Amino acid sequence: AQSVTQPDIHITVSEGASLELRCNYSYGATPYLFWYVQSPGQGLQLLLKYFSGDTLVQGIKGFEAEFKRSQSSFNLRKPSVHWSDAAEYFCAVGDEANDYKLSFGAGTTVTVRA
Amino acid sequence: EPEVTQTPSHQVTQMGQEVILRCVPISNHLYFYWYRQILGQKVEFLVSFYNNEISEKSEIFDDQFSVERPDGSNFTLKIRSTKLEDSAMYFCASTLPRGFGKNIQYFGAGTRLSVL
C-alpha cells in the first residue's frame, strides 16, 4: 500500500527566506504526486502535481517541487516566502490502480515570522 | 473556475443522531470521494464513488456510513448514528481522469462536524 511521510511537523521561517518541505513516499508503481495547501479554516488547494516527464514541476504561488525517484522524495520549495504562505502543507500520492484515491502525509505547518 | 461546494460549513449534532453532509461536485466529473480529517491528524480516505456505486472504501467507512448521488448534481455522505469520534472535517472531492494517472482531485472547503 502507498504511504507518505512528511518528517517535519512544524517549520518556522522568516519572511523573505527560502522554504523547503520534505516529502517521502512509498508506492509500488509510478507515483502520481501532489502538494496541497490548507489555510486556516479553508479547504485543500492544489499547489502542484507530478505525473511524468520533467522532474521539476512548477506550481501556483511561486512554489516548485522536485521528484527524485532514487530518493523516493517530492520536496516542495519556495525561494522567498511571504506572510500569506503560513498554512499547513500536505503531500499526497495518488493510486491509479484504486480509483486514484489519495494518501496524504501528516502535514507540515508553516509559520512565517516577520 | 468550477469548484466543489459543500454544505453546511459547520454541523453540530448530538451523539446518536443522523447527519447528512452534502456536496456538489464539478459538473462533468466522474469520480467522487469523501475524506475526513480529525483535528490535528492527517486527511484520510473514506470512500470513492463511480458510476453510481461505491468503488472502494476504507476500514473507517463502516455500516454507519453511506453515500448517495440522489440526482445528477448532489453527492451525499450520511452517518446513521453519530459517535463522538466522528467529529472531524469532512472533505468532498471530485475528478475527471484524463488518461493514465492524470487525475487531479478538486476539494471542497469541507464540513466541520461536531458531535456532542
Alpha-carbon distance A101 to nearest alpha carbon in chain B (angstroms): 7
Residue B75 backbone phi and psi in degrees, to 5: -140, 120
Cell of B51: 458510476
The whole-number pLDDT of residue B81 equals 95
Our CA dihedral for A40, A79, B106, B78, rounded to 10 degrees, sits at -30
Query: Which parts of B41-110 are beta strand (E)?
Result: 43-50, 53-57, 65-68, 75-79, 88-95, 106-107
| Tens digit of each residue's pLDDT (9 = 90 or more) over A98-112 | 767 899 999 999 999
Average predicted confidence (pLDDT) for chain B: 91
- 8 Å CB contact of B42 and A105: yes
For chain A, percent of residues with pLDDT exceeding 70: 98
Alpha-carbon distance B86 to nearest alpha carbon in chain A (angstroms) = 18
Q: What is the pLDDT of residues A39-57, one digit of tens each?
A: 887 889 999 999 888 899 9
Which chain A residue shows the shortest CA-CA distance from B40? A106
Q: What does the alpha-carbon distance between residue B75 and residue B51 come to, in Å, rounded to a whole number?
A: 12
- Of the listed ranges A50-59, B77-86, B90-99, the least confidently predicted one is B90-99
Record: contact B101-A100, CB cut-off 8 A: yes
pLDDT of residue A21 exceeding 60: yes
Chain B residues whose CB is inside 8 A of the A103 CB are: 45
Residue A100: which of B31, B44, B107 has the nearest Cβ? Answer: B31
